[in-house]
Amino acid sequence: MFRRADRRPGLPAAVKHLVQRRFTYHTAVDHINLSIEAGEAVAYVGPNGAGKSTTVKLLSGILEPTEGSVRINGRVPQRSRRAVAQEIGVLFGQRTQLWWDLPVSDSLSLLRDIYRVDQHTYQARLRNLDDVLGIGEFMGTVARKLSLGQRMRADLAAALIHGPRIIYLDEPTIGLDLTVKDRVREFLRSLRDDGVMVMLTSHDLADIEGFCRRLVIIDDGRIIFDGALDAVKDEFARERVLHIRTASPADLGPLRAALPKADVSVGDTATTVSVRFDRFVLTAGEVVEATGAIANVVDFKLDEPTIEDVIRRVYSGELVLRTGTPATAESRPA
Ligand SMILES: Nc1ncnc2c1ncn2[C@@H]1O[C@H](COP(=O)(O)OP(=O)(O)OP(=O)(O)O)[C@@H](O)[C@H]1O
Ligand SMILES: [Mg+2]
């Protein structure tokens, strides 16, 4: 729960605010009941302001819960910050934990001293981190002069230099270009395969797919779904839309007759048809083939639902009704 000062705009209000403060209490996370096992990779998603970063801060001991408790391997992070800090690595993609005016190598050796990593282990980890993240090329550069992608890679190294077995990554690929994203994702997979517990907060579905088996969706401080990612995708991300461009406007009648199980409509232009279908009922290939038999297909594009689409459907309550899974009546938003 955060205490937030209420202030009305304008100077008189600003003066009044100084003498007579008002606060509202805002519950950032509420009834978050979550336990994560070693070697598990969990995606933690939700809209802006849902409480994702707050959860990570509670887990790492940066924030103190007003109620409830957090345990990391049986310890309370707020009470045993030192011991817990040895076990966990945290990355906030939105800001750096590197010393801004120091070369990356100095930040890393400071962290080595803080975490009391012996020289031999440190060198071995550094080599490994350089292999996968390519940090060697900018080790001598001061943090403020790094590009975003370099900064993120250096930050990942900083979060992992003490060999944590639990890592929380809060938007680790934000602002990165595709090649660096791929590199970071591959690196995360190798950590998971080594048995590291990874909790990943991201708005990017590609970070999550093929990496996390478990998906937790949070909204307005509450968990509204906790279950298998595959189950969610099979159930809620099965719809596909194929946009097919034809040489001349296609006749929809015969196409609808050929694809009775799909929803066929005119697309953005007169020479585009949009076919909405369930991927468990039809394949994109079948749709293209059926269209090709009726019209001259020039090009096509397949739209797949994004994690945001899935989340939207979860809000509508469909997920709970159709899978009968985790989100309980009282933890669901009204
Ligand atoms: N220090 C703070 N003081 C007051 N309110 C805060 C503070 N930090 C966060 N909040 C509020 O708590 C709620 C949850 O914020 P949080 O940063 O956890 O969201 P998030 O899920 O990480 O969002 P995003 O996707 O935008 O990163 C928001 O309503 C936010 O405004
Ligand atoms: Mg956040």
What is the whole-number distance in angstroms between the Cα of residue 222 and the centre of ligand 1? 13
pLDDT value of position 321 = 34
Query: For ligand 1, what atom is nearest to the CA of residue 218?
Result: 21
For residue 140, what are the CA distances in angstroms to 11, 101, 103, 136, 137? 48, 11, 5, 8, 8
Q: Within this chain, do residues 41 and 99 fall inside the same structural domain, yes or no?
A: yes
Total of domains in the chain: 3
pLDDT value of position 39 = 81
- What CATH number is associated with residue 124? 3.40.50.300
Q: Within this chain, do residues 192 and 218 fall inside the same structural domain, yes or no?
A: yes
Residue nearest to atom 17 of ligand 1 (CA): 53
**Residue 198's pLDDT band (cuts 50, 70, 90):** very high
Asked whether residue 100 is assigned to any structural domain, the reply reads yes
Question: Residues near ligand 1 with C-beta < 6 Å?
Answer: 2, 4, 26, 28, 46, 48-54
pTM, two decimals, is 0.70
Burial class (CB in 10 A: 0-12, 13-18, 19+), 212: buried
pLDDT in tens, 263-294: 999 988 889 999 999 988 999 999 999 999 99
**Residue 22's pLDDT band (cuts 50, 70, 90):** very low
Q: Within this chain, do residues 67 and 203 fall inside the same structural domain, yes or no?
A: yes
Q: Within this chain, do residues 278 and 172 fall inside the same structural domain, yes or no?
A: no
What is the whole-number distance in angstroms between the Cα of residue 243 and the centre of ligand 2? 34
What is the whole-number distance in angstroms between the Cα of residue 170 and the centre of ligand 2? 7
HEC secondary structure over the chain: CEEEEECCCCHHHHHHHHHCCEEEEECCCCCCCCCCCCCCEEEEECCCCCCHHHHHHHHHCCCCCCCCCCCECCECCCCCHHHHHHHEEEEECCCCCCCCCCEHHHHHHHHHHHCCCCHHHHHHHHHHHHHHHCCHHHCCCEHHHCCHHHHHHHHHHHHHCCCCCEEEEECCCCCCCHHHHHHHHHHHHHHHHCCCEEEEECCCHHHHCCCCCEEEEEECCEEEEEEEHHHHHHHHCCEEEEEEEECCCCCHHHHHHHCCCCEEEECCCCCEEEEEEECCCCCHHHHHHHHHCCCCEEEEEEECCCHHHHHHHHHCCHHHHHHCCCCCHHHCCC
| Lateral strand order in the sheet of 239-246 | 263-266, 272-278, 239-246, 297-303
Burial 122-153 (b: 16+ CB within 10 A, else e): beebbeebeebbebeebbebbbeebeebbbbb
Residue 194's nearest CA partner among 231, 160, 155 is: 160
The whole domain housing 266 covers 238-304
Query: For ligand 1, what atom is nearest to the CA of residue 56?
Result: 18
Asked whether residue 60 is assigned to any structural domain, the reply reads yes
**Residue 334's pLDDT band (cuts 50, 70, 90):** very low
Q: Within this chain, do residues 184 and 129 fall inside the same structural domain, yes or no?
A: yes
What is the whole-number distance in angstroms between the Cα of residue 52 and the centre of ligand 2? 5
Residue nearest to atom 4 of ligand 1 (CA): 2
Q: Within this chain, do residues 60 and 123 fall inside the same structural domain, yes or no?
A: yes
Q: Can you read off the two tokens belonging to residue 196?
A: 């590291």
pLDDT in tens, 49-96: 888 888 888 888 888 877 777 887 778 877 887 888 888 999 998 889
Q: Are 207 and 172 in contact (CB under 8 A)?
A: yes
Q: Within this chain, do residues 146 and 220 fall inside the same structural domain, yes or no?
A: yes
**Residue 226's pLDDT band (cuts 50, 70, 90):** confident
pLDDT at residue 10 tops 60: no
pLDDT value of position 6 = 54
Q: Ligand 1 pocket test: pick from 26, 220, 307 the residue with the most ligand atoms within 8 Å of its Cβ.
A: 26
Residues 6+ apart with CB under 8 A from 297: 244, 245, 246, 288, 291
Q: Within this chain, do residues 222 and 250 fall inside the same structural domain, yes or no?
A: no
What is the whole-number distance in angstroms between the Cα of residue 53 and the centre of ligand 1? 7
